[in-house]
Structure 1
Amino acid sequence: MGMKVGIIGCGSITKFRHAPEYRANPHVDEIVFFDRNLQRAKELAQQFGGRSVETIEELFNDPTIVAVSDCSSNEAHHINTAQALLHGKHVLCEKPLAISVKHAEEILKAQAASGKKLMVDHNQRFTKAHQKAKEIIDKKELGEVLTFKSSFGHQGPESWGVDKSNATWFFKKERSHSGVAGDLGIHKIDLIHFLLDDEIEDVHAFYAALDKVDENGKPIEVCDNVVCALKTKKGRLGTASFSWTYYGSEDNSTTIYCQKGILKIYHHPEHQLIVETKDGAVIKYELEPIQTNENQTSSGVIDAFIDCIIHDKEPSVTGQQALASLKVIEKILGENGI
């Protein structure tokens, strides 16, 4: 017997990731779409052989819908995800979990009260190169991790969003809140936490709107670039850069420096993981290309979410882990950032 799932919000993330991955999952037999713009929901229902509903309440009140993806914009997550949980649905929430730590804590309260599963879509954990890198780090094959650097940047959300326009909600303070920090940065913060089995606790950062303008030609209200220095609880030091103004190919690279060598992740198009040891050996792994906005491969997130429901397992990315990453984003942006 297949499972029925709902999706809240029918933008690009639903069209390119959630809907096709649910459709490909053998345990899912129907997708129910909701968007405040009914036409969008209808179009995706048609494209993916599901159905649309006119109100979010219809989705919440349908007892046959077991699980929900919350793909609404950032400022609505704490409302939609909390409501879905309290209506007895398992929820996969897009990142960032919420626009503030305070709102994220409301979601975690709802999750505890509901007893349902909450997973957050920090999809970088699932790539083969990151999984392999974690295995090498966990086994201490190169000794302890000392330092790291990571970047995530592309040409900006206006080239990805559903409308292909600089009127995108990502540029609006009241909807996006954290700009590139919450869009791209939070992925890398989560990845560092995951790879190093550690947590960033101290942050020094600069952020700015350097180049992006809105539909009126004015500088955007949120940051389009962040550069930061980071220190973890275990004392590792690192740097990170997040950008919407890398006007060339996307950069999703990370380097981990250990006592006996280094790991280079997503620096090379064919060799997604390169290990260079202190004594001069170079090991190149060909694993899989990472998803980019131009190259949509299956992220593995939906399969992991469905699997944790069916087998009653802890989700691969928990609400607590997502909250830990959000706390770092709040530190990066300081008092006036969020």
Structure 2
Amino acid sequence: MSKVRVAVIGCGSISKHRHIPEYADNSNVELVAFVDPVIERAEEYAAKHGGKAYADYETMLAEVKPDAVSVCTPNYLHAPMSIAAANAGAHVLVEKPMAVTDEEAAAMNEAAAKNGVKLMVGHNQRLMPPHVKAKQILDSGVLGKVLTFRTSFGHPGPDGWSIDGAGSWFFRKNEAIMGAMGDLGVHKSDLIRYLLSDEVSEVAAFIATIDKPGDVDDNANVIVRMKSGAIGSLVASWTYYKGEDNSTVLWCEKGVMKIGTHPEDQVIVELRDGSVEKHKVGEISTNTKQLSSGIVDAFIDSIINDTVPAISGEEGRKSLKVILSAFESQATGQFIKVN
């Protein structure tokens, strides 16, 4: 079949490290356009991979009519750009958080459904080998029911990661809307929903700006209750200045599972009968060690095979709702029912 013609909107770090190289490596893809308000960035990729450079996404959609787009822009632009792309008949892969309000997320799903296009959200934690392995083990029943958990994602912050450093949009509230929670917390709300095959029913949260300049949150600690009754904590931080953490520990009826707590043994299962299983299954990607996320390949597969995307817009909306509820808890000082 003919190749999927893809345009990348936003040529910052996530495009540079993940989307563009992963599209370039996929034999079913032709990169046809790059969009960035800093036109030189788009031109650089067009020169390298072919296709045209644009400063404006609406012009690009009208002229190029791509089959699919990646939306890799500041958070506040995710919804309008994704909806415009869907209305132009393009499949959409949008970075997380998929939107900044639940209404936006709903409108994105509606636009995709109305136009018969795929909408996938870049929640790459689900596809990382340790998490895939952990899910298999949990589903096997060997650990019994998950009772309590903690899942955390912390690193030194986007000033070290973003293409614009400390001047990044990540620190501008009007563009980011949310900080560490939108960047990292939403990954973990998605991961815990996926691992437990369960929905979050209630949250209580402390969300604060402790050390970074500006007025977006750089730390959050959220208490989470699942529909199953399991309770746990979800932590997001931009101030782990020494030692990135992307680990999850699940205490279950028959033992404990540790994910990402050991440099070689990515998944460790310790059962109450004393037996221990260690799995070396490929690493969790970090900012300093970029590994293929699998997101782009899954997105292209869903287009070619006409299947529901691995992380659909509906899934993205549920994971976003958890984070938005946490902000509501911080604002009101109340426990918030999520659904």
TM-score by length of 1: 0.95
Q: Give yes or no for the alignment of 1:317 onto 2:311.
A: yes
Tell me if the contact between 1:34 and 1:56 (Cα under 8 Å) persists in the aligned partners.
yes
1:294 Cα deviation after fit? 0.6
| Aligned match of 1:70 | 71
| Aligned match of 1:208 | 208
| Aligned match of 1:176 | 176
DSSP 3-state at the match of 2:167: coil
How far apart, CA to CA, are the structure 2 residues paired with 1:3 and 1:303?
12
- The count of residues paired between Structure 1 and Structure 2 equals 330
Tell me if the contact between 1:22 and 1:31 (Cα under 8 Å) persists in the aligned partners.
no
Deviations 1:226-269 (A, max 9, x none): 01110011111001111000011210000111111111000011
In structure 1, what residue type is equivalent to 2:123? H
Deviations 1:7-35 (A, max 9, x none): 11110000110000000001012341011
Tell me if the contact between 1:15 and 1:44 (Cα under 8 Å) persists in the aligned partners.
no
Pick from 235, 238, 241 the counterpart of residue 241 of structure 1. Answer: 235
Give the alignment's Cα RMSD to 1 decimal: 1.3
| Aligned match of 1:151 | 152
Tell me if the contact between 2:155 and 2:237 (Cα under 8 Å) persists in the aligned partners.
yes
| Aligned match of 1:289 | 283
| Aligned match of 2:257 | 263
In structure 2, what residue type is equivalent to 1:179? G
| Aligned match of 2:57 | 56
In structure 2, what residue type is equivalent to 1:116? V
Gaps of 5+ in 1: 214-219
In structure 2, what residue type is equivalent to 1:301? I
1:63 Cα deviation after fit? 5.9
1:154 Cα deviation after fit? 0.2
DSSP 3-state at the match of 1:32: strand
DSSP 3-state at the match of 1:203: strand
1:55 Cα deviation after fit? 2.9
Q: Write out the 4+ residue segments of structure 1 that deviate beyond 6 Å after TM superposition.
A: none
Tell me if the contact between 1:189 and 1:328 (Cα under 8 Å) persists in the aligned partners.
yes
| Aligned match of 1:199 | 199
1:152 Cα deviation after fit? 0.2
| Aligned match of 1:276 | 270
In structure 1, what residue type is equivalent to 2:195? L
Gaps of 5+ in 2: 332-339
How far apart, CA to CA, are the structure 2 residues paired with 1:262 and 1:89?
44
How far apart, CA to CA, are the structure 2 residues paired with 1:29 and 1:283?
43
1:58 Cα deviation after fit? 3.3
DSSP 3-state at the match of 1:91: strand
TM-score by length of 2: 0.94
1:107 Cα deviation after fit? 0.9
| Aligned match of 1:227 | 221
Deviations 1:51-85 (A, max 9, x none): 31343223212465211001111000110000000
Deviations 1:99-123 (A, max 9, x none): 1111111111211211100000000
Tell me if the contact between 2:204 and 2:329 (Cα under 8 Å) persists in the aligned partners.
no
Deviates more, 1:5-14 or 1:36-45: 36-45
| Aligned match of 1:90 | 91
